[in-house]
Amino acid sequence: MALAEAGARGRLLRWPRVLLFGDSITEYSFQENGWGAYLADRLVRKCDVVNRGISGYNTRWAKLILPRLITESTSADSIVAITIFFGANDSALKDLNPKQHVPLEEYAANLKSMIQYLKSVDITEDRIILITPPPLQESAWEKACLAKGDKLNRSNATTGQYAQACVQVAKDCGTDVLDLWTLMQKNQDFSSYLSDGLHLSPKGSSFLAAQLWSRLENKVSALPSLLPYWRDVDHTNPEASLL
């Protein structure tokens, strides 16, 4: 059978998608031992995990990009879940990092704006998971800043205010939320969760993946495996199994 004929007979295979939208902590999540790679491995044959992390970005910029990533006509119906993971840059101290800093009230408003946009393209609240920024290990991050000729430009207490705002937005909007800032500090020495005081170490990535899976599993549990197991393919008539 010609490939064109097979394509005409078979239904188009469309993988559902889990979209990861965030800053560098999301962008780096497909690195070795990354939390995004873990999810992709768990969900292979069920859906694609799509990384849309953009290093250095804040919610002010993210809300402008989101409508260019997802539109009702092209992609929204295939998204089974989306994570929105911003705040590590928004919470940068204004005096020391004015380019990335976003005021707390605007940060909350931007998150709400993104949720409202997703709802406008029929991605309902139950498919949205907000993730707060992780805690900041100030001494380690200060070393990273000094190595670049900068001063310490974030604080854990300020990051915590943004995390609380993220949790409140989730309550107000009816979405899931993963309060990473609080959960990681239940173990008082959270430094092992971070590679440089800000970004996740392999241990932190594993922690996030496990916490996120517990919130994501119910959203994807009903998804079937795409295409039959190879032993179930009729080898004498594969078209009957695969088209």
Structural contact between residues 84 and 123, judged by C-beta atoms closer than 8 angstroms: no
Q: Which of 50-64, 96-110, 143-157 has the lowest mean pLDDT?
A: 143-157
Dihedral over alpha carbons 21, 214, 198, 165 (to 10 degrees): 70
CATH assignment, 17-225: 3.40.50.1110
> pLDDT tens digits for 65-89?
999 999 877 667 789 999 999 999 9
Q: What's the CA gap between 200 and 28, in Å, rounded?
A: 9
Better-scored residue on pLDDT, 6 or 154: 154
User: How confident is the model at residue 28, as a pLDDT?
Assistant: 97
Per-residue confidence band for 5, with pLDDT thresholds at 50, 70 and 90 = low
pLDDT over 60 at 198, yes or no: yes
Per-residue confidence band for 241, with pLDDT thresholds at 50, 70 and 90 = confident
User: How confident is the model at residue 124, as a pLDDT?
Assistant: 93
Vertex 22, ends 83 and 159: CA angle to 5°?
100
pTM here?
0.91
Question: For residue 94, what are its two tokens?
Answer: 């204004």
Mind telling me the catalytic residues?
24, 196, 199
DSSP notation for 3-49: HHHHHHHSPPP---EEEEEESHHHHGGGSTT-HHHHHHHHHTTT-EE
Phi and psi at 105, nearest 5°, equal -65, -40
User: How confident is the model at residue 62, as a pLDDT?
Assistant: 98
Long-range CB pairs of 218-224, under 8 A, 24+ apart, other chains included: 219/80, 219/81, 219/126, 219/127, 220/16, 220/18, 220/43, 220/46, 220/47, 220/80, 220/81, 223/16, 223/46, 223/47, 223/80, 224/46
User: How confident is the model at residue 9, as a pLDDT?
Assistant: 58
User: How confident is the model at residue 97, as a pLDDT?
Assistant: 92
Q: What's the CA gap between 22 and 224, in Å, rounded?
A: 28
Per-residue confidence band for 36, with pLDDT thresholds at 50, 70 and 90 = very high
pLDDT over 90 at 229, yes or no: no
In a 13 Å sphere around the CA of 33, the CA atoms on its Cβ side amount to 10
- Which ranges of 28-179 would DSSP assign to H, the alpha helix? 35-43, 59-69, 104-120, 138-147, 156-173
> pLDDT tens digits for 96-147?
999 999 999 999 999 999 999 999 999 999 999 999 999 999 998 989 989 9
Length of the chain: 243
User: How confident is the model at residue 6, as a pLDDT?
Assistant: 55
Count CB-CB contacts under 10 A for residue 224.
Answer: 8
Domain spans in the chain, listed from the N-terminal domain onward: 17-225
Query: How does the average pLDDT of the chain come out, rounded?
Result: 91
pLDDT over 60 at 7, yes or no: no
> pLDDT tens digits for 169-195?
999 999 999 999 999 999 778 999 999
Rg of the Cα trace of the chain? 20
> pLDDT tens digits for 8-21?
456 778 889 999 99
